[in-house]
Amino acid sequence: MAILCGGCASWCSGTGQASASRGVRLYETNDVIRVDLDGQLFTQYHFKNVTRPFLYPLLSADGEHLTRRWPQEDVPGEEHDHPHHHALWYSHGDVNGVDLWSESAKAGKTVHQSVVKQKSGSDSGSLTTRNEWRDKDGKVIAHDERTFRFHRPTGAERTLDFEITIHASHGEITLGDTKEGTFAIRMAESMRNKQPKNQPGAGHLVSSRGAKDGDVWGKRAEWVDYYGPVNGKTYGIAIFDDPRNPRYPTWWHARDYGLFAANPFGVHDFEKREKGAGDLKIPAGGSVTFRYRVLLHPGDTGAAGIAARFDEYVRAIKH
């Protein structure tokens, strides 16, 4: 098992340097904010000298990487496609015509401004940050405030909640109709449904509405689970769409090669409707909020009881 030790900049074997404390602990080290669950590394928030903030890695309870390691690390056996796929992130390919999704020469950036709140705790911890959305020339288009809530594990699952409020702080913005977005994860290479050169993979996608594998793409669903093998064991990551979100249930930009994204804007691409059908306008001074839950689990969709876990999530929201 490999973890990133708090006192060094490289991946180290074993858990000898991990804290023995219980609960959820967040602290800055080596230019990232590290999140420990019961003394073991879960993830790190990268926010300095990056094109957009992101979480990397996402580790299972027994320390396996459930997200692709490249481009953060270069390890054997991983494809180097889509260099803008940074483990877990939020961005969109058309904001007033500006591409904030890719890392092309014409693309904009999401730039960290401040940590608004950082909290550790016995049952949960949270991180809230403020970020500016800028075009390629550095002009600010909008800003967001995003919060990650990390929950102390019960058993072999790992759970985090994500909330983002997008503020039209610099004039009206349009979140444009494109498949390139938005709340996204890049799965570990061994978990892909299809491997390079269109070879079959051992991973699978399952949606709340019964779609499977490649048929999940472009469809609406309350949740999607992506599971597959890592070092001989089966693991999965599920994303739950929050019923309070605009356009619930969302469409899914979930690909068989490992991209796994909820996207409520790409109606033209997903349903072959007129261009702009998926546009969402936020008036100057206004805002919009989206929320998602991410559940890391052992086993496949059925073994993890994902449908029941989603029902529990919805009941908790309503109460």
pLDDT at 10: 35
Type of residue found at 38:
D
Asked if residue 249 has a cis previous peptide bond (ω within 30° of 0), the answer is yes
Burial of 318 (0-12, 13-18, 19+ CB in 10 A): exposed
Residue 7's pLDDT band, with cuts at 50, 70 and 90, is very low
CATH number of residue 85's parent domain: 2.70.98
Average pLDDT over every residue of 102-127? 97
Tell whether 107 is covered by a domain.
Answer: yes
- For residue 158, pLDDT over 60 is answered with yes
pLDDT at 305: 98
Tell whether 91 is covered by a domain.
Answer: yes
Beta bridge pairs of residue 143 = 132, 167
pLDDT at 15: 38
174-201: pLDDT as tens digits: 999 999 999 999 999 999 999 998 899 9
Alpha helices in the chain (DSSP H): 267-271, 301-304, 306-318
- For residue 12, pLDDT over 50 is answered with no
Q: Give the count of alpha carbons within 13 A of 87, CB side only.
A: 21
55 in Cβ contact with 172 (< 8 Å): no
User: Based on the structure, what is the number of domains in the chain?
Assistant: 1
Tell whether 251 is covered by a domain.
Answer: yes
User: Three-class SS of residue 290?
Assistant: strand
Type of residue found at 208:
S
Tell whether 12 is covered by a domain.
Answer: no
Residue 11's pLDDT band, with cuts at 50, 70 and 90, is very low
238-277: pLDDT as tens digits: 999 999 999 999 999 999 999 999 999 999 999 999 999 9
pLDDT at 291: 98
Tell whether 15 is covered by a domain.
Answer: no
- Residue 227 CB partners (closer than 8 Å, separation 6+): 191, 203, 204, 206, 234, 235, 236, 237, 299, 300, 301, 304
Identify the DSSP state of 14. Answer: S
Tell whether 272 is covered by a domain.
Answer: yes
- pTM (predicted TM-score): 0.93
32-77: pLDDT as tens digits: 999 999 999 999 999 999 999 999 999 999 999 999 999 999 999 8
Average pLDDT over every residue of 301-307? 98
- For residue 163, pLDDT over 50 is answered with yes
Tell whether 14 is covered by a domain.
Answer: no
Place of tokens 């070092």: 231
pLDDT at 20: 52
Tell whether 8 is covered by a domain.
Answer: no
17 in Cβ contact with 6 (< 8 Å): yes
Range of the domain at 75: 24-318
- Mean pLDDT across the chain, nearest whole number? 93
